[in-house]
Structure 1
Amino acid sequence: MARVSQEHLDARRRQILAGAARCFARNGFHGTSMQDVLKEVGLSAGAVYRYFAGKEELIAAIADEAFNGIRRAFEEAAELSPPPTPDVLLGRVLRRVFDGQVYGMERRVCAALIVQVWAETLRDDRLARTLDEGYTGMRAAWAKLVEAYRAAGLMSSEVPADDVARTLIAAAQGFIAQEALFGGAEPGALENGLRGLMSMNPQKAS
């Protein structure tokens, strides 16, 4: 029997995740059964359970993949000299989330799925741990980026790096929530808003 290539295994895993994400986005986590996922991806139960033991593992994998992608964007930015400013970087990350049409879904549907994952962590300890690990990793990546800003002379050292990291993550999370709830949350608007805030000069107000 011919051996299955790693590329085939990776493609099949992504096919399953994409189908599950579409089901979750349409009907929510609790309104989606594994039978729904099987029907969506057009595979047998054995083929799917080879990769995922159940719905909880699918949800955790989707959450983990989303966090890894965003964290990589931050880490790549920290390696640039000088690194892109927060307005440019957050716009870039949100375009990766939205315009990349994760799992082939429209922007608002993708945002809604992310918000569902956040909400699910309140009742699922395993998913909460996945989310916590992702959040901790993002904070570390942003803190590293703050150090790169300081090394390039773009930011003072008065404010703790983690405080800056948490604030910028909150800005991205809030924009994703806006898109999920109301639609029309263009990454360019976030860029412009942050650029405006960054241009404030407290000395002129005194």
Structure 2
Amino acid sequence: MARVSQAHLDARRRQILDGAARCFALNGFHATSMQDVLKEVDLSAGAVYRYFSGKDELIAAIVTEVLGGIREAFEEAARQTPPPPPDVLVGQVMTQVLGLGGGEAKHGLAWDGEASFPRLMIQVWTETLRDGELSQVLRTGFVTVREAWVKVVEGYQEAGVMRADIPADHVARTMIATAQGFAAQQALFGSAPVEVIQDGLRGLMSMESPR
């Protein structure tokens, strides 16, 4: 029997993850069965279970991959001196990593149509309230993402383009909350171009103290 190449194995795993993400985003975790996933990816049970033991492992893998892609994007930005300004940076991450604003995801899952990251994000947040293991995966991922954002903020401060008397972690958390909130709006109230959050951040950044 011919040996299966690593490229083939990676492509098959990618196919399963993308298909499962579409199912979860559209119908939620509980309403989606492994049979739904098998039908979506058009593979046999044996082919899918070779990579994932079940639905819980699929969910954890998707969450870990998305958070890893976000962390990687901000680590790349932190290596620039100074990093791109917040409005540009957040827009780039949402377009390249999450596929918002009509962009193609640069890292990880391929989001398309209604099966978008914002919809899946809401599902994940809800599920972590009852699933301790998934909650830990999300917490661990959040820590690594926050560390990457902190490096970006420190880059701003070292370059003298942001006040240095405010803790970098506080700024990083606020930037994360802004991105999360906009993604939640996408899921709950309909799609909006990424330029909306970029313009909003630009407006806030332009404020000056009254004289």
TM-score range normalised by the length of the shorter chain: over 0.9
Match of 2:104 among 86, 100, 103: 100
Paired residue for 1:177?
A: 184
Query: CA contact under 8 A between 2:157 and 2:163: conserved in structure 1?
Result: yes
Deviation at 1:112, TM superposition (A): 0.7
What's the counterpart of residue 13 of structure 2?
13
Aligned to 1:80: 80
Contact conserved, 1:82 with 1:149, CA < 8 A, in 2?
A: yes
Could you tell me how far 1:126 is from its partner in structure 2?
1.3
SS, match of residue 172 in structure 2: helix
- Structure 2, unaligned stretches of length 5 or more? none
In the alignment, the residues of structure 1 paired with residue 159 and residue 28 of structure 2 have an alpha-carbon distance, to the nearest angstrom, of: 45
Query: Of Structure 1 and Structure 2, which has the larger fraction of its residues in helix?
Result: 1
> Which residue of the partner structure matches residue 154 of structure 1?
161
Distance 2:38 2:115 in 1: 24
1:61 partner letter:
A
Matched, 1:137 2:141: no
Q: Secondary structure at the match of 1:103?
A: coil
User: Where in structure 1 are there 5+ consecutive unaligned residues?
Assistant: none
AA at the equivalent of 1:69: G
Shift in Å, 1:28 = 1.1
Q: CA deviation at 1:109?
A: 3.3
Tell me the equivalent position of 1:197.
204
Q: Distance in 1 between matches of 2:25 and 2:31?
A: 10
Letter in 2 for 1:200: M
Preserved CA contact (<8 Å) 1:108 1:183: no
In 2, the alpha carbon distance for the partners of 1:108 and 1:51 equals 22
* TM-score for the superposition, normalised by structure 1: 0.94
* Counterparts of 2:192 and 2:2, CA distance in 1: 48
Distance 1:166 1:82 in 2: 19
Aligned to 2:89: 89
Aligned to 2:24: 24
Matched, 1:120 2:124: no
Sequence identity percentage = 61
Once residues 115 and 46 of structure 2 are traced to their aligned partners in structure 1, the CA distance between those partners, rounded to angstroms, is: 32
**Partners of 2:104 and 2:127 in 1: CA distance:** 24
TM-superposed deviation, 1:43: 1.1
- Partner residue, 2:68: 68
TM-score normalised per structure 2? 0.92
AA partner of residue 104 (structure 2): G
Question: How many pairs does the alignment contain?
Answer: 204
Helix, strand or coil: the match of 2:11?
Answer: helix
Cα distance in 2, alignment partners of residues 184 and 166 from structure 1: 24
RMSD: 1.4
Question: How far apart are the structure 1 equivalents of 2:200 and 2:115?
Answer: 20
CA contact (8 A) 2:21 2:115 kept: no
